[in-house]
Structure 1
Amino acid sequence: MTKRERILKAATRLFAEYSYDAVGIREIANEADVNSAMISYYYGGKGGLHKEVFSRFVELVLDVSREQLGKAANSHELCDAMGRAFLTCARRNREVFMVGLRSLNRDLEWLREEQERIQRETEEYVTRFLVRTGHKEKMPHTRRLIFGAVMGMLFSDYLLGGGANINDDELLKEYAETIIRILQHGLPSLAE
């Protein structure tokens, strides 16, 4: 693993465990076993590391959204496949998701740009899904609201419960089934 990769891995782990604000450059450097100047060299500082971790989160979210919205045949199938795909992706990339989800609530200009990108691209994927499946919105702004609602439901466990359900193999199945059922009954009611 290169120094750059070690720094990113250390920062991701520390930001996920303690939060961005609670972690300093020295802690990241110690965890990565590098000189703190290397962080500035590779990332321009702690803020650059935050951007890099969040960028990875954005790409994971957009990849899952694009794939699932691109292949689902109907709303019920979409809820099931997307719910399971997001939960699987989040478990494989737990620390990136923890940092990304926490970051969504921060008020920074570069984050707003990335949030707008997520919103714009997922709304486009939802629009394509609706057109492809012959559905129409029942209420204005449904396309814009669906993604936020789905993400909020799926990841409320990380944000409110520290991932107790998502990180437990036995509880995950029940958690996934519960969330997917709620989505399957609620989401189809938004489009006809």
Structure 2
Amino acid sequence: LQNNYGDIYDCVDFYKQPAFDHPLLKNHTFHFQMKPTSLPKRSRDQVSSNVSKPLNIGLKGGGCPVGTVPIRRTTKEDLIREKLASKIMTPADDTGGADYAIVETIDGPNKYSGASAVLSVYQPDVVGKQYSAGRMMIQNGPDSLQVGWRVDPSLFGDARTRLFIYTNAGQSHCFNTNCPGFVIVDTEIPLGQVIEKVSIRGGTSL
């Protein structure tokens, strides 16, 4: 599958995706029809009225067939950029000029089945090695997982707003599917996908 920006996505068998190269997932019980065990209690009407849900962020034609997941085809240049960007992110990309909203959980026997966030999406101008992102980060000790949108020419090779995840686990520091362990279940919205509709300053927030 190819989008309007030249990105090519392969529909990979769910059980052959890179996630299952992780040794802890060798005897997994995941399946391609997995759904969240629970959904956030907050309803859409509790979100600010000037916020609209982004439209058409998935692949055209309905994405991949059931039983497969879309994975962006990477070139040698892509891998080089991602490796350099991962080094910049390690151990933390706290270079100033960033605002954080933090929620800390209490240590205990309770388990968390997921997390969600509502983020406005923008496409700010960046120059040089600058990047801009809106993201949610889940952290447990030194390990963390980030998810959100990012404008980063050094990483993606263009200045478009793209969906991303960043994994920091042990000695592994990488973007999107280059780290094993993150299981993709959605057949339409791939990592690295361009988000075409973005917010306008002073106007509608998407």
Query: What is the TM-score when the length of structure 2 is the normalising length?
Result: 0.23
Query: What is the TM-score when the length of structure 1 is the normalising length?
Result: 0.24
More strand by share: 2
- Which is higher, the Rg of structure 1 or of structure 2? 1
| Higher relative contact order structure (alpha carbons within 8 Å, sequence separation ≥ 6) | 2
